[in-house]
Amino acid sequence: MLTRRTFLSAVSAGSMLGAGAGRVGAQQAADAPDRKRMAVVTTEWRYHSHAWHMAERFLHGYPIAGRWHRPPIDVVSVYVDQFPENDLSRQRSEEFGFPIFPTIAEALRVGGDELAVDAVLIIGEHGNYHRNEYGQTQYPRYEFFKAVTDVFRQDGRPVPVFNDKHLSWRWDWAREMVDISRELDFPFLAGSSLPVTWRMPSIDLPYGAEVEEMLCVAMGGVDSYDFHALETIQCMAERRRGGETGVAAVQGLRGEAVWDAMHGGDWASGGWDPRLFEACLSRSHTLAQPDTFSHRYPTPEQIQAWVKDPVAYRIEYRDGTRATMLLMNGLVGDFTFAARLKGQPDPLSTLFHLPPNPNVVYSAALMSQAEETFLTGQTPYPIERTLLTTGLVESCVRSLGEGSQRAETPHLDVSYQVSPASTFAQS
């Protein structure tokens, strides 16, 4: 892997495409009065990385509502932390005319003496970073954010910021990031594609509904896709009666403990409502099947045979609402949600639909929310959603790593209200 220092020392001034000028090449003219200027701060930029998913939406546009939308925003500077062999940042720099800078401060100032951008896109996902004893990858999102906000302080002007996925692997750092955004008074949006992707059926949790229990059945790994699944739950949970009140306790389960919970048959017995589990599997488009069989509901024995490493997070909200997140690789390859509402005989359920590679238009749906924040100065949903899901990831992986003990979470007393308006993609 090339280091950032090695790459930058090897690149000539000419190939940096006029760092001080902030030239935008194939993009729209940077001097257009109605166009914004954006800096990208990312861990790496390669095929299928989040920079490829997200930053490139601002280079060549994305499809939305049956048309190809080109944001009135120009990428005028980039900071890249690592350069793998399949790096794309240099190719994109040449193609679209933005310079790559050796520091975040220089990227935000576009080689000049003061802040010279109107928005910052922080992407701290992928790359070669340390994993701690709980399996958390220590991506430098906090460090990136602090470097960005140091420029805001020094230059006396903040601009809107979008942070990809959870805020940090550490709760206190995540809390500090939100506090800094409040102190400096700039729009701060974060999170994943799951809350804003398409749903099948295209429904939301009824605003103000009384929710008793929720379930998400998902795929993927701990400290990565668990965040997506928790955001799937939280974007629904926050709409319940009284709004969000925070989380009182969590418990992480793995392996045989998950099967014991499943056989428990209800929350009081350490498990979950089997009707919610059935509703989720009935919404899945990727439900596993035995060879040569058509679409059949799996038996408990088949589920246990197919899922080699099940993970469950049990979440107790401060208002008494309960939720379970299940990672069941081998059973499903998508994200489904179900909830039991008070007074309703059947669960509410839906599939959070993620269109396939390489188009991945769910990242376009997310970047449309970032674009709205950059252009209007207003976030479409509160940063507290991502703050809470950030804390849930940390607390749940720690519970897993500490013998699956139930852990009280007084620090997750995150309260907030959302608008009744839905923010997910709809046709």
- Listing DSSP states for 266-311 in one string gives SGGGTS--HHHHHHHHHH-SS----TT--S-PPPHHHHHHH-SS-E
DSSP annotation of 126 reads S
Q: How far is CA 406 from CA 16, 390, 397, 399, 413, in A?
A: 53, 18, 12, 7, 17
Q: What is the pLDDT of residue 33?
A: 62
Mean pLDDT on 307-323? 98
Q: What is the pLDDT of residue 34?
A: 83
Sign of CA dihedral 87, 90, 93, 95: negative
% of the chain surpassing 70 pLDDT: 92
CA distance 371 to 121: 10
Cα distance between the two ends of the chain: 42
% of the chain surpassing 90 pLDDT: 87
CB proximity list for 403: less than 8 A, separation 6 or greater: none
Condensed to tens digits (0 to 9), the pLDDT of residues 113-142 reads: 999 999 999 999 999 999 999 999 999 999
Predicted TM-score (pTM) of the model is 0.91
Sign of CA dihedral 44, 46, 50, 56: positive
Q: What is the pLDDT of residue 290?
A: 85
CA distance 108 to 132: 31
CB 272 within 8 A of CB 261: yes
Q: Measuring CA to CA, which residue among 160, 157, 214 is closest to residue 189?
A: 160
Residue 8 has pLDDT above 80, yes or no: no
Mean pLDDT on 29-51? 85
Q: Which amino acid is at 143?
A: E
> Which two tokens mark 228?
């997506």
Of 67 and 427, more confident: 67
* Range of lowest pLDDT (36-40, 205-209, 287-291, 350-354): 287-291
CA distance 394 to 170: 7
CA distance 29 to 195: 33
